[in-house]
Amino acid sequence: MRPAAGWMTGLLIVWLVGAPMLFVVALSCSFRLPDTEAKDPVRGGWFLLACAVLLVVAPLAATLIGVAGRRRIYASVCAVLTLGGLVLGGLMTPVALDEIGVVRRPPPPAPTPTISQCVERSGGDTRCPGG
């Protein structure tokens, strides 16, 4: 086996084992039920961000090694895995950054108070009904 194929296989094994493991750890830290709080959402956000990075970096590195080692089919498969990792990592990253605290969603706008009574003011015409 060529050295390029060995490195590519090693990277893909790290990708195949590491990404799901990081995702499960992130879920265990950030998972919350309606009545409970998350155990450690910041830590879970970091694990989720690490998972998103690993989903892209490992197959991308394997693709580059395959191109340099002239393993075209292997490099093509790794390129497709890189594109899939970009999609999944792109979906995970905003959630991870929100958990970490880097990006915060703006708070919902405060509801405008409804005035149910007419308040008369001095120095002018009254516009209150009946008055």
119 Cβ neighbours under 8 A, 6+ residues apart: 128
Query: What whole-number distance in Å separates Cα of residue 90 and Cα of residue 104?
Result: 17
Pair of tokens at residue 83? 């594109």
Residue 59 · residue 12 · CB < 8 Å: yes
pTM of the predicted protein model: 0.69
CB 5 within 8 A of CB 56: no
Q: How far apart are CA 103 and CA 75, in angstroms?
A: 35
Q: What is the pLDDT of residues 44-98, one digit of tens each?
A: 889 889 999 999 999 999 999 888 888 888 889 889 999 999 999 999 898 888 8
